[in-house]
Amino acid sequence: MHEVGLCEGIVAAAASRAGDRQVRGLRVRIGGHLVDAGVIRQGVEVAAIGTVVEGAALDLVLEPLVAHCRDCGQDAPGDVPAAMSACARCGGVDIEMTGSEQVILESISVAATSEARPPQAAAVRAPVTEARA
Ligand SMILES: [Zn+2]
């Protein structure tokens, strides 16, 4: 897995959902990846710099793969290759993988619009072109 791309994707998703509001916190569910929460946390922190997501608290939910047997109902850790092909308890092959590889931005919390963008922030951009002339 490419952690940098994953983290940038999380930040981009949160930023697009937030619009121009400052993101205070985000809740992300990562399924099926064997990831190090610390690595993701750090990656998101770095990817968020300069965006509305910068400084947001990250609530990370890691959800490992689960191999669910439709025959007997047993759930086994899905990161073991054998568990994907046959059930360890009944030998059934009707295995359903849950928690498959997906990254879900579950929710974000944003600051109130008024405190996110002070009124003078918009005006600062205007003189930029004149300064170069
Ligand atoms: Zn079974």
Answer with the residue of higher pLDDT: 35 or 127. Answer: 35
Question: Domain ranges in the chain?
Answer: 3-64+99-132, 66-98
Q: How far is the CA of 63 from the centre of ligand 1 (A)?
A: 21
Q: Is the pLDDT of residue 118 over 60?
A: no
Kindly give the pairing relationship between strand 95-98 and strand 66-69. Answer: antiparallel
Just give the CATH number of 3-64+99-132: 3.30.2320.50
Q: How far is the CA of 68 from the centre of ligand 1 (A)?
A: 8
pLDDT bracket for residue 36 (50, 70, 90): confident
Give phi and psi for 83, each to the nearest 5: -70, -20
Cα(30)–Cα(39) distance, rounded to whole angstroms?
13
Instruction: Report the SS3 class of residue 57.
Output: strand
User: Under 8 Å CB-to-CB from 72, ≥6 apart: which residues?
Assistant: 87, 89, 90, 92
Report the C-alpha gap between 36 and 64 in whole angstroms.
Answer: 12
- What pLDDT score was predicted for residue 32? 74
| pLDDT at residue 9 tops 50 | yes
d(CA 91, ligand 1 centre) in Å: 6
Question: Ligand 1 centre from 89 Cα, in Å?
Answer: 5
pLDDT digits (tens, 9 = 90+) for 39-51: 889 999 999 999 9
- Which three-class secondary structure string do you get for 103-119? EEEEEEEECCHHHHCCC
The Å distance, Cα 79 to ligand 1 centre, comes to 17
pLDDT digit string, tens, across residues 51-110: 999 999 999 988 878 889 999 999 988 777 777 789 989 999 999 887 667 788 999 999
Report CA(104)–ligand 1 centroid distance (Å): 29
3-state secondary structure at position 66: strand
The confidence band for 3, taking pLDDT boundaries of 50, 70 and 90, is: low
Q: What is the pTM of this model?
A: 0.62
